[in-house]
Homo-oligomer: A and B are copies of this chain.
């Protein structure tokens, strides 16, 4: 699964032959099908893992009791992605257009939490604010993963300013 994650993430799902996965993982090709039935089954298993790990990164925000802090954490999230985590963020975003594997519901808890936070802070449209912020997190993550974003701290401060914290 680790090898699959890496290869799917770097070279794409369709472009990764099962033989390559088994080779790099040092197991027989047949084993993949014994465990996951399908190449799709393997992807599914990998994705469950990925969603899980990403959800974990949301936990500090969701469990934060101070609304202002929660928002600050949310904005900071994409800027704190570690190199080691790139691989599963990238896979997640690559599969965004593969409806079978993209599950927008995974973001609901985060949206809920941010809704609450914006509400606490007296915003007019807390739900829309939350939705917008989550989307913002996604674009910035994408830009960072693709290496397009220079001056990360400057940009981070710019965003924090935007929310007047």
Contact = CB atoms under 8 A, between A and B. Distances in A.
Nearest to A104: B148
Classify the interface of chain A: helix, strand, loop or mixed: helix
Give the copy number: 4
Interface stretch (A37-45, A52-60, A61-69, A135-143): A135-143
B139 A158 contact: no
A97 interface: yes
Interface residues on A, range: 20 to 34
Nearest to A143: B135
B104 A128 contact: no
Given A12-B14, A14-B15, A135 B139 contact: yes
Interface in A109-127: 125
Interface of A: 12, 14-15, 90, 93-94, 96-98, 102, 104, 125, 128, 131-132, 135-136, 138-140, 142-143, 146, 148, 154-155, 158-159, 162
